[in-house]
């Protein structure tokens, strides 16, 4: 996945940096919230149920409030697009990792370590350029 950032206009929300559409941001936030509610780790079955609920339009974005004006909001998102545009990029970037042995998805800090590694690569390149003179 390619992340294009503008250091002068960097959004405060990490989801706005990573995802192209508002709908993708919402789905990613829902997934992270769901995983956090389950101690940061869910099984393959739970992930499938999450994707199916999204596909069928059963995923609740906003709970119904006490007032009749505060209606419950639900979201529908294609199951295949969820895996292709949300989960796979999040795994590839290191936000979520999959344990092959336990068959579970869990929240990860690998994204942060990757960004540090990229920064170090750039510093090495700058040093290499300076030493060529």
The structure tokens listed for 116 are 């540090």
The structure tokens listed for 113 are 């370590």
Domain membership flag for residue 2: no
Given a cut of 70, the residues of the chain with pLDDT beneath it are: 1, 62-72
Q: 31-46, pLDDT tens digit by residue?
A: 999 999 999 999 999 9
Residue 81 belongs to domain spanning: 18-108
Domain membership flag for residue 63: yes
Tell how strand 41-43 and strand 59-62 pair up: unpaired
**For residues 118 and 53, what is the distance between their CA atoms, to the nearest angstrom?**
36
Query: Cα-Cα-Cα-Cα dihedral of 24, 28, 34, 40, to 10°?
Result: 170
Tokens 């990792």 belong to 97
Instruction: Provide the percentage of residues in the chain whose pLDDT is more than 70.
Output: 91
Count the domains in the chain.
1
Domain membership flag for residue 1: no
Non-local (6+) Cβ contacts of 32 within 8 A are 95, 107
Domain membership flag for residue 74: yes
CATH no. for residue 22?
1.10.10
């Amino acid at each position: 996945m390619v992340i294009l950032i503008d250091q002068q206009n960097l959004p405060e929300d990490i989801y706005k940096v990573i995802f192209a559409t508002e709908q993708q941001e919402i789905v990613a936030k829902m997934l992270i919230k769901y995983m956090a509610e389950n101690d940061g780790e869910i099984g393959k079955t739970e992930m499938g149920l999450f994707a199916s609920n999204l596909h069928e339009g059963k995923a609740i974005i906003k709970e119904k409030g006490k007032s009749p004006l505060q209606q419950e909001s639900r979201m529908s998102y294609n199951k295949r697009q969820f895996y292709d545009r949300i989960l796979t990029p999040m795994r590839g970037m290191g936000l979520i990792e999959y344990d092959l042995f336990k068959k579970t998805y869990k929240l990860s800090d690998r994204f942060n370590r990757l960004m540090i590694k990229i920064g170090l690569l750039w510093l090495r390149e700058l040093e290499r350029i300076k030493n060529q003179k």
